[in-house]
A and B are shown apart, each in its own frame.
Chain A
Amino acid sequence: MTVTVSFVLNGEDVSVDVEPRTLLVEALRDRLRRTGTHVGCDTSQCGACVVHVDGRSVKSCSMLAVQAEGAEVVTIEGLAKGGRLHPMQEAFREHHGLQCGFCTPGMIMSALDLVSQNPDPDENQIRHWLEGNLCRCTGYQNIVRAIKAGAQAMRSA
């Protein structure tokens, strides 16, 4: 049995047939071929799957695709506009906030939610916010630095 779910993905209307048990991340990756959103765990710990649903960061592995009906979903693929990187993406590159890149989309999407609530987060606030995002490569230091710089760039944009 499948159901059709329709939502706005990175500004485009999409419709996809899924099983009721299909997770949002599975629909995004397997059906809609947006593979920038990653799956790093099966217990909602790692944050590699973070996307925005109606403006807030959500672990797309902990939500059913059908729950996205009518929602506005933004993934990492939706950030760069017309080939121009989002300032937060730029900051991750500038400050070496990634190594293998696997956690990176989730980190960036999560960071953007933080900045939307707190435009000028300090180091502690950033570290605390990242509690739900694991990175095994960077030791977090340059991710924290990148988020701080990204927030700064967004303020002055």
Chain B
Amino acid sequence: MAENGIGVAVRRKEDRRFITGAGRYTDDINRPDQLYAYILRSPLAHARINAIETAAALAAPGVVAVFTGADMAADGVGGLPCGWGVANKDGSPMVEPTHPCMVVDRVRYVGDQVATVLARTRAAAKDAAELIEVDYEELPSVTDIHSATADDAPLVWDEAPGNVCYDWAIGDARAVDAAFEKADRVVSIDVVNNRLIPNAMEPRAAIGEYDEATGDYTLYTTSQNPHVIRLLMGAYVLGIPEHKLRVVAPDVGGGFGSKIFHYAEEAIVTWAAKRVGRPVKWTADRSESFISDAHGRDHVSHAELALSDEGDFLALRVRTRANLGAYLSTFAPSVPTYLYATLLAGTYKTPAIYAEVKSVFTNTVPVDAYRGAGRPEASYLLERLVDKAARVTGIGPIELRRRNFIDPDSFPYQTPVALEYDTGDYDACLAKALEIADYAGFDRRRKESAERGKLRGIGIATYIEACGIAPSNVAGALGARAGLYEVGTIRVNPTGSVTVLTGSHSHGQGHETTFAQLVTEALGVDIDNVDVVHGDTAKIPFGMGTYGSRSLAVGGMALMAALDKVKAKSKKIAAHLLEASDEDIEFKDGKLTVAGTDRSVSFGEVALAAYVPHNYPLDILEPGLEETAFYDPKNFTFPAGCHIAEVEIDPDTGVTEVLNFVAADDFGRIVNPMIVEGQVHGGVVQGIGQALYEQCVYDPESGQLLTGSMMDYCMPKADNVPRLEVATNTTLCTHNALGVKGAGEAGAIGATPAVINAVVDALSGIGVDDVPIPATPERVWQAIRQAAA
């Protein structure tokens, strides 16, 4: 193992700038002569706009321009594109309404963009926006799934009857029906997957700039995937060819999915910068983030599991309705379909599965991928259902799971819902988690709690996720409108240091360290001499960005492929220098040696020879040492694991405390265990947040977001969560050379069902068999009262 190579908990290279306050986030950047944009947003959930009067705002001090949707439309600006099409059961396409950057005559949710004020200061722009008079004619609105699908529901879009975007299905309905007919018993459950507001700590921001002399545009933006933004905004919205548009995503303060998407503000500042001939900067207030960052989850489902008397799963039938909000955000259609229903096999060998998903429009913020994206919804549904089956059959949560796990020797395993799992050992993760959680000692602890008048519960959840979000041809066949490979360049500099260019983007994941470890391992270059560059379309050849736990499994593999090319060329150069043949050169620890001899050259000497090719095989080899690779994976990767939560509930107050939490995960090979642990910590706490605290509430009458600030939307704080126990059990991914699977989302996938299963377990003794999520004190207290009544 190289000193700072694969498997070492290398301290992060990027940390120094962050701990000294020298990080460079988008809002830290100011461009000469810049103006500040303030975006006036709709205060109403649904309304027609009769007129917008901007003259007073334009005359206000410091104001340079006021723009509306009509100005953008007059310039031929297009709508925000949707990057994934989903077909209805009958093969017809989904309803895909236009999504203007600023509305023209109708607003569809509280937060919809209505007008933009540009002024010399942020405060002046904000003050002036108050002078804009919009003549709204309010329309009835719908915010939740039930009302949106009711018979007489108001329509968000005239072209979407019943507010349905698509009505989609996967699996073999007939096989499922047949299995249900033969089943000894059927267990069913209704679950809500609560809507969440991502709340990355850095609010979104964007700066647009236009160079009159060259016709070049630059956009600085808080994005997880700058090349994707360049593609979407350039091609679909503003009509700027790639070579005239540079997108920079500098340091980004967390994303969790919410910074994948192409947002209106990016296009507005870029377009406005040309209109006024000055850079334009926009930064969201947090309250603006609440009503403009895409939300997550928001499903309502009914599921039935058919079992034999022995507890074998025979079939699963699922009906889900998903809330997509008012418009289709970039990847919205894929989340409740291909990223959700394809995971409903979970870790189990259920032979027949059928799922129907109806996605609907509502007068709410658009909903899209949020940490886990579809996979948490699948795990939550399945693990709640399996736990319920374990209870009602009396088989118990461990035995029932074990009985139905896919055996470790049956891989590759084809599920009935399209995926082919390559490897895994689910029982090993379960066993490890049980041991660390001291499951055997739980009864004693339950009694101790009972003596103190408290209700204690323990909850298990296993999960599987499909990560990497690729291969491109598979994703394309399922409706993706882009490729999903990744790109990496290894640039060996003349003196032997290495610059890595990656299309992945780090917004907390530590790529500058993990990717440098790959280079150190492969080339033997000191880690201090490796720099990783990301987030700038002018520097990096191309990229698809970071989401779906794909950076290492796809982005890292692109670098591995480029490293292989560098190694191969280095061997040729060394062979020339050492007067040997290529095949005889061994490359190890930064040295290239003629096998079986002590004749060698250092990698540094090879690099220098490549750039100063005086003694060099110029007739057969180009000078220079820089290689680029595009890597398109052969399959998804399938991280899996088992999480166990132990909770204690105070029946008098309904307050739930998570006392212990264990995560035993299989991420494949781990490059930096410290970073992976940190990813699990963060994900688990978001998962606990979904289970117990985070609740997005819209007022059903007015369509106002009632949880529109950090005062009303409760995110986990340091004293809300326990110390987490994190362990891994590794099976290597079979289709990439590193054997890696991805670790970014797992915590948020496994934790939520584990916690709710624990809450239900705690309450089951007093006759409660379900709790709403999030299980807030009030709701738990109500559930206890109702059971007692």
Contacts and interface: CB of A to CB of B under 8 A. Distances in A.
A39 B205 CA distance: 12
B21 A102 contact: no
A130 B685 CA distance: 15
B750 to A, nearest CB: 13
Interface in B186-222: 199-203
Contact of A126 (B251, B677, B718): B718
A13 interface: no
B715 interface: yes
Tell which of B24, B252, B674, B681 has the most Cβ of chain A within 10 Å: B681
Contacts of B723: 123, 141, 144
A102 B25 contact: yes
Interface stretch (B11-19, B145-153, B486-494): B11-19
Interface stretch (B128-136, B421-429, B503-511, B774-782): B503-511
A42 B11 contact: no
Contacts of B24: 35
12 contacts: A36-B21, A36-B23, A40-B203, A43-B711, A85-B19, A100-B508, A103-B253, A104-B19, A130-B717, A136-B715, A138-B682, A142-B678
A34 B21 contact: yes
B201 A42 contact: no
B710 interface: yes
A7 interface: no
Nearest to B287: A42
Nearest to A77: B21
Interface in A110-134: 123-124, 126-128, 130-131, 133-134
Interface string B438-476: 000000000000000000000000000000000000000
Contacts of B21: 34-37, 75-77, 105
B336 interface: no
Interface string A66-98: 000000000111011000010001001110101
Contacts of A137: 201, 254, 508, 678, 682
A99 B509 contact: yes
Given A35-B28, A41-B286, A41-B710, 17 more contacts: A35-B24, A38-B25, A40-B253, A40-B286, A42-B286, A42-B287, A45-B711, A96-B11, A96-B674, A99-B678, A102-B202, A102-B254, A134-B710, A136-B200, A137-B508, A139-B681, A139-B682
Interface in B88-118: none
Contacts of A41: 286, 709-710
A36 B19 CA distance: 9
Interface in B747-763: 747
A138 B678 contact: yes
The main secondary structure of chain B at its interface with chain A is: loop
Contacts of B540: none
A3 B17 CA distance: 33
Interface residues of B, number: 57
A136 B685 CA distance: 8
B202 A100 contact: yes
Tell which of A35, A42, A105, A141 has the most Cβ of chain B within 10 Å: A141
Nearest to A128: B719
Contacts of B719: 124, 127-128, 130-131
A108 interface: yes
A143 interface: yes
A131 to B, nearest CB: 6
A89 B508 contact: no
B71 interface: no
B285 interface: yes
Contact of B710 (A29, A45, A140, A143): A45
B80 to A, nearest CB: 25
A98 B253 contact: no
Given A36-B20, A37-B21, A42-B286, A141 B724 contact: yes
B2 interface: no
A87 B715 CA distance: 29
Contact of B715 (A39, A85, A134): A134
A99 B492 CA distance: 28
A38 B718 contact: no
Q: Which 3 A-B pairs have the closest CB atoms?
A: A36-B21, A101-B18, A102-B253
Nearest to B687: A139
Nearest to A131: B717
Nearest to B685: A139
A123 B719 CA distance: 10
A76 B28 CA distance: 15
A155 interface: no
A65 interface: no
B710 A101 contact: no
B27 interface: yes
B686 interface: yes
A140 B718 contact: yes
Contacts of A92: 15, 19
A98 B18 contact: yes
A27 interface: no
A136 B254 contact: yes
A140 to B, nearest CB: 4
A40 B724 CA distance: 26
A17 interface: no
A33 to B, nearest CB: 8
Interface in B695-737: 709-711, 715-719, 721, 723-724
A126 B723 CA distance: 12
A99 B508 contact: yes
Given A36-B20, A38-B25, A134-B710, A103 B201 contact: yes
Contacts of B74: none
B348 interface: no
A100 B208 CA distance: 23
Contacts of A130: 717-719
A100 B201 contact: yes
Nearest to A102: B253
B710 A46 contact: yes
A79 B20 contact: yes
A149 interface: no
A17 to B, nearest CB: 13
A9 interface: no
Contacts of B686: 136, 139
B418 interface: no
A94 B674 CA distance: 10
A93 B711 contact: no
A76 B22 CA distance: 9
Interface in A13-72: 19, 21, 29-30, 34-43, 45-46, 48
Contact of B11 (A36, A89, A94, A102): A94
B123 interface: yes
Nearest to B509: A99
A151 to B, nearest CB: 15
B258 to A, nearest CB: 10
A42 B28 CA distance: 17
Contacts of A89: 19-20
B286 A43 contact: yes
